[in-house]
Chains A and B, each alone.
Chain A
Amino acid sequence: MAETKRKTRDDGSRQRSSSKKPKTSKKGKSADKAERRGPRLPNALRKELDRLNPRTADSDEEIGSDEEALGQDLYEYEEGLPEEESKKNRRFDPVDNLDYELPEDFEDENVSSDDDNEARNGGESEADDEVKEENDGRRIGEMPTQTVEGRRKKMNNVVVSEAYPESEYNPTRDMLEGEGALSIGDLLDPLQGKHGYSKLKKRVRILDKKSTPIQAPLPKPVQQRLERNAAYDKSKEELRKWEPIVKRNREAPTIYFDDDRDLGPSSVGTIASEFEPRTEFEKKMASLLYDDEVMDAHRKDGSRLLELNKVSAEDEKDRQNRIAKMRSLLFRHELKSKHIKNIKSKTYHRLLKKDKLKANSLQSQMDPEASKELAMKQEYERAKERMTLRHKGSSKWAKRIKERGLDVQDDGTRAAIAEQQHLHAQLTRKMNSMKDSDTSSNDTSDDDDVDVNSDDEDRASKLLEKAKEKTLKLLNEDNEVPNSGVLSLPFMNEAAAEEAKLALQEYESWANQLGDSGGGNPKVGRPSGRMVFNGKDAPESSKKTKSDNKNRSDNYYGDSDSDSEDDLEPISISQHGKYRSNELMKDANISPVLLHEDSENHKDSFFKQNTDGSVQDPGPQATHEVSIFASGTWRKMKNGNDANANANAKKSPAPLQSVELDQSVQEPVKDLDVDSDADSEGQMVDGVLSAVPEPSYELPSQEELIRQAFAADNVEDEFKKTKEDILNEENPEPEKPVLLPGWGQWTNIQKKKGIPSYMQIEHDSAKKKREEALKQRKDANLKHVIISEKPPNKKSQNLFTQSLPYPFTSKEVFEQSIRMPLGPEFNPASMVGALNRPEVVKKSGVIIKPIEFEEVNAYEKLEGHKKSGQKHKKNRKSKSNSNSGKNMTKLKTK
């Protein structure tokens, strides 16, 4: 209501006096209000009027907000401007209201606050105010606030009688109407004629001329924006000084956060120097150590130290005694424990003995000298036993046990007795008797088995004789004609007869040979050659022979060659394999032994054997026995069955070498470089093999020979062909255009035209495509090379990067950047650390402090920071991840 109008615009209004006081600072608006108001009425009358005519208030709505605020006036009264206020003709002296200003320190007891006043006085007080204003008569014309000069500012301290504070949005009525403007001239007028007036006026004029009106304040957002901009610029400037630091951190390959921490004393010496004796013991020690005398002695030449070290003789003696005692005690203890340690159980000794025996036997087997020694020893023992009969049971102990009876004894004793007897038996046994039994058993099981080491000539001749007998027997048996089967056919019979005849002849010749050349001496045949016996062995011996084969693989010889040595024999045998009875097979069939004088013959036979190998009878059960004369020793080998032997012979042609080599035949294949051009160049000279004792020479197998012989045929063409095949497989050659027979050939013209052009074009384009594809190959220009274009293994795909890693844009640069290995295997130890240093080096537990400002030369080259924790004193905080480009920097400005 009425108070609202009383709002002051300024703090100055506080100085407003209470209702009774004349208002000094009142001006402007109040006058404006006053001019529209009617004369003040007493309250009682007003009430009366209210009662009578409530409607009138409504009617003056249009008057304005002021009117409305006043509200309840009965009538409207437009009070004209007082003469003095119109200022039209300057009839009235303008009043300088400065004169009426109260002194600064003026204060009224009643003044408390606006609110207080209003609350107390209510509507009445305000009415009084109005009255006062009216009566003032010193109103100063309204002045637009904008034009108020600095020195008139005080005039603004006016009670604002508007509903809203005056602003650009809420201009005063005067402003809107454009009248009532008060100029400085108006104010100066009263001073006219006074001293200094002209001066003042002049100044004012100058001021007027120069001064421009103050701009209206900018809208708030703009103002704020401007402020922000300024602040931004300012802070930008502030931050710029950090730039070099941040840049350095960003560019650094590694950032260190290892503050120099006090790690304490670094050496034992420093620790020791700070030692202070605390406990009693320590103090005692210290007093001794730092004794003046001792220190002195140390400081001097040290001769006094000897004096100080003197020990009395008794003390020394005591000490020695004590030590001696301790020593002897120790020694005794040691002896005792040694003794205890040496006591072993019976089983231990038994086992030990066994082991020793085993080792001995092994050794003897391995080492000829040892075996000899062993034999000597055994012989000696045997002799001793035979002389003393120590183990026969003639000892006292044995006799007593016998007296008591063996049955009474416990197992151990019995065993001991038995062992003694066994030992006795062993030692006293006749040696040759053992041998005899062996041979006899051999004889029974296998007539032709002869000990390898029995190389006496008697034995050889005996064997020969036996073989002779057997052959005869067999030949006789052969004469018996089978009754049935194919072999009973007449021509077979004839063949058999013929064969038998031949065999007989052969046998005779052989016997003659033996008779005149060997007789009793089997060596006669050839000193270093070999005689090959061939026969059929009893099947039960086959097992044994197999194992033999293995054992002596280096000196056994293909057996079937002895068959093939005489062409007729083996074939006939194979053909007549069927009629061989079991009995026959059991009997040894000794084929004629050929004592070849000439090796050519032999070699031939070898080849034949190789080729014939497959032709030979597939399942001859007969086993052959081959015995060899080799440099005067009887060696006897047994073969399994034929097939086995054949296979062996095939697989290891090596054994045949020795047969050949003594003929000084050099194999042509290996000796390839003995040729003129090599010789002339003097590069490779290879001698011809001569009388070297036993140069083993590997004869290439048949297939290898063939392979070598035909290898050089047109390899280039072959290669070309294979390459073409491979190319065709990948890019097949386009088929030649063909027409179906009979189609499009009705007339001659069609025939003449040939293949339609579109087909031809298609074909050509396909051909071109293929050629282009072939050109793409890596081996396109390499005539003699095929590089496989197969897609690489899936797993090996993982070894490549799928695409260029992010910051890289060029493949070359990327590949160049990964060319250097980083591991310690490839780099000197001094550089491995630098090559593999992480981006951030920080000791665990170290607090990362915020970055601190420091002067940095932005243009200095970054030096590789040596990683030296103590020296690195800059404790700046900046964690920059140089790879990802993220830079998180906390700033702390000081």
Chain B
Amino acid sequence: MGVKGVNQGHGAVVPPTEQKLSDEMDVTKKKYLRGGEANLEVLKDKKLKGQLAVREALHLKTAQAAANAEKYLLPSEEGYLEPEGLEKTWRIKQDSIAPAVDILSARNQYDIVVPDLGPYRLDFTPSGRYMMVGGHKGHLAIVDMKQMSLIKEFQVRETVRDVVFLHDETMFAAAQKKYPYIYNRDGTELHCLKEHGAALRLRYLEQHRLLASINEYGQLHYQDVTDGRMIGSYRTGFGRTDVMQVNRHNALLALGHSGGKVTMWSPTSSSAVIEMLCHKGPISAIAFHPTNRDLMATSGKEKKVKLWDMRNLKGPLQTLPGQAETLDFSQKGLLARGTGSFLQVLRDSSGTQKYEKYMTHPLVKGYQIEKVLFRPYEDVLCIGHSMGWSSILIPGSGNPNFDTWVANPFETPKQRREREVHSLLDKLPPETIMFDPTKIGTVKPPRKEKPTKEEKEAELEAALEVAKDIVPKKKTKGRSKPSKMKKKKQEIIANAKRPFLEQQMKEDEQMARKKQKGMEQVELPTSLQRFARKKVTI
């Protein structure tokens, strides 16, 4: 057995050949080209072609530079457990990992036992530096994970159902018995969000700065935390649920319902953007892959865990047996699932999105896992359970290279302030939350339009043609007299025209009505009305 460099990537890396290197470079380059070059041959406009060619060349260069940067500036690779011979990675216990890793990493194995204050829920800041814990019985605490020191701990003396950090560690929200509250780092209550009601789950949409909650009546609320506006409050209509997760790629909120349904919501539409029937039993957990934008995991109470590709909703990618009360993807794509007092981590070792068992970790019998959460940028998995919380090492879970511009674990207060201002300026409007946000900026999708005037006319023409072509039957007893035939023909044509004319009339009427309405609305202020020319009423 060997532990390959926990987060430091100092394991024995086989020196790759030149060929392999260039291949790798090509792969990363392709990644940064974001979907390949455009086919410029189609273009007839020479000038545009020239411009685009210059642009493409620049893009190619950029991708090359980015690939280089990734190669040279992000040198660390994530480690992983490597079994030797008959060994199985999931037989490896935490205490056998401990001696193989460095001291700093070994420090991350611990259990905090707080027996009285009920199952704990956890949340991390994006940098993974701070952890928020919320005990069901009202115990709230912020922990600095780097120094392993308690920043603030207090009791709200109320049920706490969920906790979530807002943009950084200075503020957090807690869903309490009646309302969610926002506290600052010192435990001062800043806001009471009464409109949300008794929220069961809270989620924070980082880019949009929205706090989303689902309350016990199944109502979904979105509130802008920068200016306090309620962006949306919708009745889901699917009953009470406490399964809520946010897709970081498109910021849609996914709710799991008792009917085995997963619905995805955006703050701008009153109905679910997507409804999927994922399971036969009630949904017990949802998780989204943080980097692979298309991967979703759901678990149902019928003891199934399913992995979904969001591009192809026809069926699950993979169905795993077993129950999961809580699911979480790590930055590198490991999937943790917990149920009862048992925890399992799955890994996509082959890179083909076939998840296999990677590690297991039984808690002390009787501990009930409430939430599992990978710590960002560390190979650490935190488990909130009924007796406190625990932290274990899962090699290869965290991203070994952090980008200080994105999430800096060593952030100074000054940097934090700077970032806060920047992120405020970069705040996205809530309309940008849609199923495929890459479509933003492209040409507007064509609306289902009413038929144009010409189309209508063409239709009418066609109908008339048909009507004219009808050859009347030859009848006897003077019924086929020319005069009668002509009359008949006219009648047929009139009949063919009728539906079109009727529709036309209807439309005209509607237009007139609309116009009138508009006219009525445009009224002068009362003080000026006496000067207006009076209409002559007949």
Interface residues of A (CB under 8 A from B): 251, 253, 550-551, 553-554, 651-652, 654, 670-673, 675, 677-678, 681, 683-690, 692-698, 703-704, 707-708, 711-712, 715-716, 718-719, 722, 779, 781-782, 784-788, 790-793, 795-804, 807-820, 825, 827-828, 830-831, 834-835, 862, 864, 882-883, 885
Contact = CB atoms under 8 A, between A and B. Distances in A.
B273 to A, nearest CB: 5
A820 B59 CA distance: 7
B277 to A, nearest CB: 4
Nearest to A804: B443
Interface in B42-63: 42-45, 47-48, 50-52, 54-55, 57-59, 61-62
B268 A813 contact: no
B29 interface: no
Nearest to B403: A825
A787 B340 contact: no
20 contacts: A553-B137, A672-B301, A678-B323, A684-B340, A684-B344, A688-B365, A703-B240, A712-B282, A712-B302, A790-B269, A795-B429, A795-B431, A796-B434, A800-B443, A801-B442, A801-B443, A802-B444, A807-B45, A825-B405, A831-B65
A337 to B, nearest CB: 32
Given A792-B434, A813-B40, A835-B58, A787 B274 contact: yes
B190 to A, nearest CB: 22
Given A670-B368, A694-B115, A796-B431, A814 B314 contact: no
Contact of A811 (B58, B357, B443): B443
Given A703-B240, A787-B274, 5 more contacts: A708-B258, A785-B313, A792-B269, A807-B45, A817-B38
B275 interface: yes
A827 B118 CA distance: 47
Interface in B418-455: 429, 431-432, 434, 439-445, 447
B314 A782 contact: yes
Contacts of B323: 672-673, 678, 684
A97 to B, nearest CB: 73
B271 interface: yes
B431 A551 contact: no
A186 B159 CA distance: 140
B157 interface: yes
B75 interface: no
Interface in B6-40: 34-35, 37-40
B137 A554 contact: yes
B290 interface: no
Contacts of B115: 693-694, 696
B2 interface: no
Given A685-B342, A796-B432, A800-B445, A882 B269 contact: no
A800 B58 contact: no
A688 B341 CA distance: 10
B506 interface: no
B118 A719 contact: no
A800 B437 CA distance: 11
Given A689-B365, A807-B45, A828 B50 contact: no
B118 A654 contact: yes
Contacts of B273: 787-788
A695 B368 contact: yes
Which are the 6 A-B pairs with shortest beta-carbon distances?
A816-B38, A692-B366, A800-B444, A695-B366, A796-B431, A784-B277
Contact of A817 (B55, B258, B367): B55
Contact of A684 (B55, B279, B342, B429): B342
Nearest to B48: A807
Nearest to A687: B365
Nearest to A551: B157
A325 B44 CA distance: 91
Given A550-B157, A820-B34, A692 B272 contact: no
Given A689-B366, A694-B115, A790-B269, A654 B136 contact: yes
Given A678-B322, A686-B340, A801-B443, A831 B431 contact: no
Contact of B440 (A718, A784, A799, A885): A799
A825 B341 CA distance: 42
B261 interface: yes
Given A715-B259, A799-B431, A810 B157 contact: no
B372 to A, nearest CB: 14
Nearest to B314: A782
A798 B440 CA distance: 9
Contact of A785 (B118, B275, B429): B275
A31 B367 CA distance: 144
B258 A800 contact: no
Contacts of A784: 276-278, 313
B126 to A, nearest CB: 15
Contacts of B281: 711-712, 715
A683 B346 CA distance: 11
B280 interface: yes
Contact of B386 (A550, A687, A696, A785): A696
Contacts of B258: 707-708, 711
B280 A716 contact: yes
A597 to B, nearest CB: 24
B477 to A, nearest CB: 24
B395 interface: no
Contacts of A790: 269, 271
Given A707-B258, A801-B442, A812-B38, A686 B47 contact: no
A670 B275 contact: no
A87 to B, nearest CB: 76
Contacts of B366: 687, 689-690, 692, 695
Contacts of A675: 303
Contact of B442 (A696, A809, A818, A834): A818
B386 A697 contact: yes
A819 B276 contact: no
Contacts of B442: 800-801, 811, 814-815, 818
B314 A797 contact: no
A454 B61 CA distance: 80
B483 to A, nearest CB: 27
A779 B277 CA distance: 13
A796 B366 CA distance: 50
Contacts of A779: 313
B277 A715 contact: yes
Contacts of B83: none
B195 interface: no
B264 to A, nearest CB: 9
Given A715-B259, A800-B441, A882 B51 contact: yes
Contacts of A815: 442-443
Contacts of A678: 303, 321-323
Contacts of A692: 364-366
B260 A711 contact: yes
A719 B263 CA distance: 12
A92 B445 CA distance: 107
Contacts of B59: 820
Nearest to B281: A712
B109 interface: no
Contacts of B62: 820, 827-828, 831, 834-835
A711 B51 contact: no
Nearest to A824: B405
A795 B268 contact: yes
A683 B58 CA distance: 51
B169 to A, nearest CB: 22
B409 to A, nearest CB: 19
Contact of A816 (B35, B44, B279): B35
B279 to A, nearest CB: 8
B303 A809 contact: no
Contacts of A697: 368, 386
Given A799-B432, A812-B38, A686 B339 contact: yes
A885 B47 contact: yes
B443 A719 contact: no
Nearest to B38: A816
Contacts of B443: 800-804, 811, 814-815
